[in-house]
Structure 1
Amino acid sequence: MNPTHATVTIDIILDRQNTKEVLRAILHAILFHRSFGTIKPKTFEVLDVTMPGVADPEIERLVDEKVGAFWKGMESGAYKRGQITITLSGKQQKKAWLGITSYEEEVPWEQWIINAEIRQPKSEQERVTFNENLAATLTKSLRTMLTHTSSEQGRAAVPSITNNQVSPFPLKIVVKVGDVEVG
């Protein structure tokens, strides 16, 4: 993997009640900010925080599949921590065998790492505080996305766009629960 690609990390503490909804919103928001074709936007309201998303059947299916894999991994094991990694790559021509032949190689240009931990509030007062903290973390995550994607570094990382697809770059989402890849 290319060590020079940008890496953005989001740490979040969730409860069982909000896990799917929050992860779906975060993944959609990242993909919204890294979609370059014509998209139909949608929004997610999570704990009074409005998150952007992409109304594209393929992206919605991918996000639902990965959130479902994360949830199943959490449900089936003793682990309460997991990670979802989104890697965006560009295609680059590489020379092979004495420069006579060439092939395309996927080279990562940006990676988003979502570290998630599930905790359960024990009382109603803890739930109120927990939800307030989760809403603040969501707002901070959205701010991180906006800051990175609009920064000079965030804009410079994007390779040349050669088509008008919603996601013109190879996209890979990996889900790990307890350091084991799931889904």
Structure 2
Amino acid sequence: MNSTHATVTIDIVLDRQNTREILCALLHAILFHRLFGTIKPQTFEVLDVTMPGVADPAMKRLIEDKVDAFWKGLENVVPKRGEISVTLSKKDQRKAWLGITTYEEEVAWEQWIINAEIRQPKSEQERQQFTKNLASTLSKSLCTMLMHTSSEEGRGAVPPITNSEVSPFPLKISVRVGGVELP
């Protein structure tokens, strides 16, 4: 894979209560900004932050499966942290040996990395501050998405769109916990 692609990183500290909901909302928001076919929008209210999403059954299932894999992967790991990445690629024609034949290769043009850690607040006061910080982090993450996708770099990274599929580019969501990639 090409190492010159754009990489956007979101660091977030979660509590057990909100982990699944927040990770699903973040992945939906990323896909909302990077799926270029005809999509039906939807919104998620998470900690009083409205996050955009995609109302597509296949994408919903993919996101839920990856968040579930992340959650299960954290069961036996200390510290409770991992990474979910969304990689968008394009298919390039490459010449094989001596340029006689060609083959298709997927080349990443953008990657989104969510570094998530789970911590538990110990008191009610700590929980209130934690929730406030988490809502702020979500808002900042959404701003990061908007700033990147609307920037010249973010718009320029998008290869030519040649079809109207929901995901006109190869899309891969990976989960890593404890340095191991999970299915």
Which residue does the alignment assign to 1:25?
25
Number of aligned residue pairs: 183
**Correspondences of 1:172-183 after superposition (within 5 Å):** 172-183=172-183
**Correspondences of 1:85-124 after superposition (within 5 Å):** 85-124=85-124
Matched AA of 1:103: Y
Give the match's secondary structure for 2:75: helix
**Correspondences of 1:4-15 after superposition (within 5 Å):** 4-15=4-15
Deviation at 1:76, TM superposition (A): 3.3
Matched AA of 1:128: Q
Identify the range of structure 1 (16-25 vs 72-81) with the bigger mean alpha-carbon deviation. 72-81
Deviation at 1:77, TM superposition (A): 2.9
Deviation at 1:182, TM superposition (A): 1.5
TM-score by length of 1: 0.98
Which residue does the alignment assign to 1:154?
154
Separation in 1, partners of 2:51, 2:12: 15
Where do 4+ consecutive residues of structure 1 move more than 4 Å? Answer: none
Matched AA of 2:67: V
**Correspondences of 1:130-169 after superposition (within 5 Å):** 130-169=130-169
1:137-173, Cα deviation, whole Å (9 max, x unpaired)? 0000000000000000000000010000111000111
Which residue does the alignment assign to 2:70?
70
Deviation at 1:79, TM superposition (A): 3.5
TM-score by length of 2: 0.98
Say if 2:59 is the partner of 1:59: yes
**Correspondences of 1:33-48 after superposition (within 5 Å):** 33-48=33-48
Deviation at 1:75, TM superposition (A): 1.9
Uncovered stretches (5+) of structure 1, i.e. residues with no partner: none
Say if 2:130 is the partner of 1:126: no
Deviation at 1:178, TM superposition (A): 1.2
Q: Is the 8 A contact 1:96 1:103 kept in 2?
A: yes
Deviation at 1:42, TM superposition (A): 0.7
Separation in 2, partners of 1:167, 1:6: 18
Uncovered stretches (5+) of structure 2, i.e. residues with no partner: none
The Cα RMSD (Å) is 0.8
Matched AA of 1:177: V
1:75-115, Cα deviation, whole Å (9 max, x unpaired)? 23334110001110000000112111101100000000100
Identify the range of structure 1 (69-78 vs 139-148) with the bigger mean alpha-carbon deviation. 69-78
1:9-67, Cα deviation, whole Å (9 max, x unpaired)? 00000000000000000000000000101100011100000000000011001000000
Separation in 1, partners of 2:178, 2:130: 23
